[in-house]
């Protein structure tokens, strides 16, 4: 974005200079004045060389505030290089608003080179004026073998100044937990801070902290904080819109007060001691929850439009209770590792449901789950546009579940707005994707079932899907299952 803005501004500068020359020519003034032999205006040659000369000659002519704006739009590493190459950018570097420190921006691998990382970050911050910082992001998560706690306070003292808007602190999991200094959250900082994300720290706010008037987004991951302390933080953040809690094991209950009128999004993952969630926030519209014992029956859900739930034995409750408790639901994601009861057939409807994803990771069930019962969701969703259905490889989607006669009925069961269907009965990752280099090898019997299922879909469904719709069926990786394909 920075280079695009620079090129655009230089183009405007050249147009302005051209117009000046035209005006001087009309007035009978000497238009050759100021030219020198060998300038880009007089000589041909390499276009890149001319562009470089134009850039070198044009940058100093731009107003200082425009140069500062260009520099602010550059990524931090590019901004540092520009400051080394141009005096025009050297001054603005001391006021660069986005301080982002990680392996990429520092230009070295963190593992095994901790002292170099500390040295570079400290040197940059000492030369920074501390004025105008909008974003401070420190990714220290790979520094498992180094104790940087003695540096953090001094770095945060430079960064946490009035005007800062985003603060992100990623620390590694260590025996010694860094205690985040709430004392640095001065009145000026609290007035401007909008986004706070902390990882692997201890956070102990008190009633003396004061109001975080501008805070809209709070992310706490593996943070040592009690419910009383979190309650203090929430009550002082009346502008809060989003709360994310991940692996915060000291929190045993969560209560969202009605005073958070703008609060709209809650995500709770891996907080295993948390049992009850209460919310009286009137505008809560997005819920993302994971936990087998998590009770959210005391959450005001009438305005919820998006629900993602990772919980076993939830499909039956979802089909039976959600149409009435979340009547405005538009997006539903269910991840389940165990289902004892099939999805019931009920007259209730999801009138506004547009996107449905169901992932069944049924690896420890005693009987095959009747996946065809999930058609109940189709019958109840007249506005459904996209459907994603995934089943783990140990319990194949069509093995003793979807018979050919049932497959024939699926396209006819939904006459609404359904435009995209994705069916996965295999491992979600292809070989070469992410950290997994190879697929999990399927047993010969399962591979035959997968081949049979694929043939059934192509026979009974694929030719009935309109050209304007999309049907995606995941098949086993041909590279990793070449021998099984040959035998089948």
Same domain, 285 and 310: no
Question: Tokens standing for 87?
Answer: 């005096």
Question: Tokens standing for 341?
Answer: 């009861």
Same domain, 338 and 480: yes
Per the CB < 8 A criterion, the answer to whether 246 and 220 are in contact is yes
Residue 266: phi and psi, rounded to 5, are -130, 130
Domain count, the chain: 2
What domain range includes position 231? Answer: 177-294
Q: Which of 50, 53, 54 is nearest to 13 (CA)?
A: 54
Residue 16 lies in a domain: no
**Residue whose tokens read 């049924």:** 362
Same domain, 312 and 417: yes
pTM: 0.76
Question: Tokens standing for 435?
Answer: 């950290």
Q: Which of 241, 262, 294 is the last residue of a domain?
A: 294
Residue 47 lies in a domain: no
The predicted structure's pLDDT at residue 79: 82
Question: Tokens standing for 296?
Answer: 């959210």
Beta-bridged to residue 267, according to DSSP, are 244, 288
Q: Quote the distance between the C-alpha of residue 96 and its chain's center.
A: 25
What whole-number distance in Å separates Cα of residue 170 and Cα of residue 157? Answer: 17
The predicted structure's pLDDT at residue 280: 93
Question: Tokens standing for 22?
Answer: 């035209």
Same domain, 419 and 370: yes
The predicted structure's pLDDT at residue 375: 86
Tell me the mean pLDDT per 10 residues along the chain, length 488: 59 64 49 39 41 47 77 81 78 85 74 67 83 90 74 90 95 85 93 96 90 96 95 95 96 94 96 93 96 86 96 92 96 90 92 93 65 86 88 48 47 60 56 51 61 71 71 67 50
Residue 125 lies in a domain: no
Measured CA to CA in angstroms, residue 9 lies from 51, 91, 190, 386 at distances of 14, 20, 36, 44
Residue 252 lies in a domain: yes
Same domain, 232 and 359: no
The predicted structure's pLDDT at residue 20: 56
Same domain, 189 and 272: yes
Same domain, 345 and 269: no
Q: Is the dihedral of CA 316, 318, 323, 324 positive or negative?
A: positive
The predicted structure's pLDDT at residue 374: 85
Same domain, 277 and 183: yes
Same domain, 284 and 214: yes
What whole-number distance in Å separates Cα of residue 61 and Cα of residue 250? Answer: 58
């Amino acid at each position: 974005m920075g280079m695009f803005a620079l090129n655009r501004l230089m183009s405007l500068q050249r147009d302005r200079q051209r117009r000046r020359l035209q005006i001087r020519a009309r007035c009978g003034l000497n238009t050759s004045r100021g030219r020198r032999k060998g300038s880009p205006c007089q000589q041909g040659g390499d276009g890149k060389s001319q562009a470089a000369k134009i850039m070198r000659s044009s940058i100093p002519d731009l107003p200082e505030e425009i140069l500062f704006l260009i520099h602010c739009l550059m990524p931090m590493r590019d901004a540092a290089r520009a400051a080394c190459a141009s005096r025009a950018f050297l001054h603005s570097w001391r006021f660069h608003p986005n301080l982002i420190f990680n392996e990429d921006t520092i230009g070295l691998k963190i593992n095994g080179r901790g002292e170099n990382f500390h040295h570079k970050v400290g040197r940059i911050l000492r030369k920074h004026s501390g004025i105008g910082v909008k974003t401070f992001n420190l990714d220290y998560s790979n520094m498992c073998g180094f104790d940087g706690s003695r540096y953090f306070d001094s770095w945060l003292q430079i960064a946490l100044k009035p005007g800062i808007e985003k603060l992100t602190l990623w620390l590694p999991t260590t025996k010694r937990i860094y205690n985040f200094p709430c004392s640095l959250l001065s009145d000026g900082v609290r007035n401007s801070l909008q986004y706070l994300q902390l990882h692997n720290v201890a956070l102990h706010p008190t009633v003396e902290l004061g109001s975080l008037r501008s805070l809209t987004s709070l992310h706490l991951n593996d943070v040592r904080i009690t419910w009383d302390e979190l309650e203090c933080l929430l009550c002082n953040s009346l502008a809060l819109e989003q709360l994310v809690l991940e692996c915060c094991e000291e929190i045993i209950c969560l209560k969202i007060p009605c005073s958070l009128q703008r609060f709209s999004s809650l995500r709770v993952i891996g907080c295993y001691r948390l049992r009850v969630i209460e919310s009286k926030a009137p505008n809560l519209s997005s819920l993302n929850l994971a936990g087998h014992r998590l009770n959210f029956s005391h959450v005001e859900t009438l305005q919820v439009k998006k629900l993602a739930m990772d919980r076993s034995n939830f499909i039956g409750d979802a089909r039976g209770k959600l149409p009435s408790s979340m009547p405005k639901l538009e997006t539903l994601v269910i991840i389940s590792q165990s289902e004892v009861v099939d999805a019931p057939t009920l007259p209730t409807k999801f009138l506004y449901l547009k996107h449905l994803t169901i992932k069944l990771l049924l690896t420890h069930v005693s009987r095959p789950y009747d996946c065809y019962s999930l058609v109940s969701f189709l019958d109840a969703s007249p506005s459904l546009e996209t459907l994603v259905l995934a089943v783990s490889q140990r319990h194949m989607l069509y093995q003793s579940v979807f018979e050919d006669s049932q497959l024939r009925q699926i396209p006819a069961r939904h006459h609404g707005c359904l435009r995209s269907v994705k069916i996965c009965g295999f491992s979600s990752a292809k070989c070469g994707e992410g950290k997994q280099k190879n697929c999990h090898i399927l047993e010969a019997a399962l591979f035959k079932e997968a081949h049979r299922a694929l043939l059934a879909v192509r026979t009974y469904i694929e030719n009935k899907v309109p050209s304007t719709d999309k049907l995606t069926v995941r098949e086993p990786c041909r590279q990793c299952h070449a021998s099984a394909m040959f035998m089948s």
